[in-house]
Chains A and B, each alone.
Chain A
Amino acid sequence: MILEIPVESYNFSAAGEAASRVKKTLQRLGIDSQLIRRVAIATYEAEMNIVIHSDGGKIILQVDEEEIKVQAIDQGKGIADLELAMKEGYSTAPDEVREMGFGAGMGLPNMKKCADRLEIKSVVNEGTTVVMGFKNQS
C-alpha cells in the first residue's frame, strides 16, 4: 500500500498530522507497536523539517512485506553540508520557532536512531529527499 500526504511550509497548526496519519495507518495494518513508535518518531521529525526548513513537500508511506518505507520530499533551500546537519545540536532554526521548542538539532539524529536505514539527498536551492526504511517484522 502507498499513502501520500502533503506537508505545508510553516503551517504549525497542521504540523504533526502526517506523522499521526502514518501511525494510524500502521495501527490499522496491525504492525507491532514498538515498530510503529519508531516510524512515528522518525516521520514526525521529517515532517517538522519540511514545515520549518523547506517551502513545502510531502510524506510518502509505502508498506510491503519486507519494509516500511517513509519518504520526505520537499522543495526549498536544501542542506549544504549533510555531515554538519546530522550532528546532534546543529540547527539553523530561526528564533521564533526555537521559542516554540524546535531547533534542538536533534531531529536528524532521532531519525537516524529510529530508522534501520536512512538516506538523504539534497540539492541546495532545490530541495531535499529523505528516505527511511524500517524492517517489517510481521
Chain B
Amino acid sequence: MTLKELIDCIDGVVVNGHERLAEKFNGVYISDLLSDVMGHAQEGNVWLTIQTHNNVVAVALLLNLAAVVFTAGNTPDASTIEKGREEGVVLLSTKLSTFEAAGRIYQKLQ
C-alpha cells in the first residue's frame, strides 16, 4: 500500500512530504512511548501516535520509518514540522482516533 492510499483510507492530511506519497509502507506500529517504538517498530513502518513534539521526528528518522501519522486530530508542533521538513520525514495527520485509523488500515491490508 502506498502513502497516498493510506491518506485516502484514513481521511488524512499531509503535513509534509508531498513529494514522497508514491512510496510504499510495509506495516504499522502504534505506540505513544518512544522507547517502545525504538525497540519494536520496523524500517518502512508507518507509526501512529498522539505525541506531537519534535523528538518524534528523531525517532522516525533513526528508524527509517515510512511516515508518522498524528491521530485523533492532534497536530504536530511547529518545531516538529520544521524538523520533519529539514530531515525529509513524511508527516500526516488524521481526525480519526487511533483505533479507527488502525481499523481502517488493517481492513485495507487484508
Report which A residues bind B (CB closer than 8 A): 12-13, 15-17, 19-20, 23, 37, 40-41, 44-45, 48, 100-104, 106-107, 109-110, 113
Contacts and interface: CB of A to CB of B under 8 A. Distances in A.
B38 A44 contact: yes
25 contacts: A12-B53, A15-B55, A16-B57, A20-B58, A37-B43, A41-B62, A44-B58, A44-B62, A45-B38, A48-B35, A100-B34, A100-B55, A101-B33, A101-B55, A102-B35, A103-B33, A104-B33, A104-B34, A106-B33, A106-B35, A106-B38, A107-B35, A107-B38, A110-B35, A110-B39
Contacts of A109: 39
Given A13-B54, A102-B34, A104-B34, A44 B59 contact: yes
B102 interface: no
Interface in B66-91: 79, 87
A100 B55 CA distance: 9
Nearest to B51: A101
B62 A40 contact: yes
Q: Which residue, of A12, A15, A17, A101, has the highest number of chain B Cβ atoms within 10 A?
A: A101
Contacts of B64: 37
A113 B39 contact: yes
B100 interface: no
A37 B39 CA distance: 11
Given A13-B79, A23-B62, A44-B62, A106 B55 contact: no
Contacts of A40: 62-63
Given A15-B58, A37-B64, A44-B58, 10 more contacts: A15-B55, A20-B58, A40-B62, A45-B38, A100-B53, A104-B33, A104-B35, A106-B38, A107-B35, A110-B35
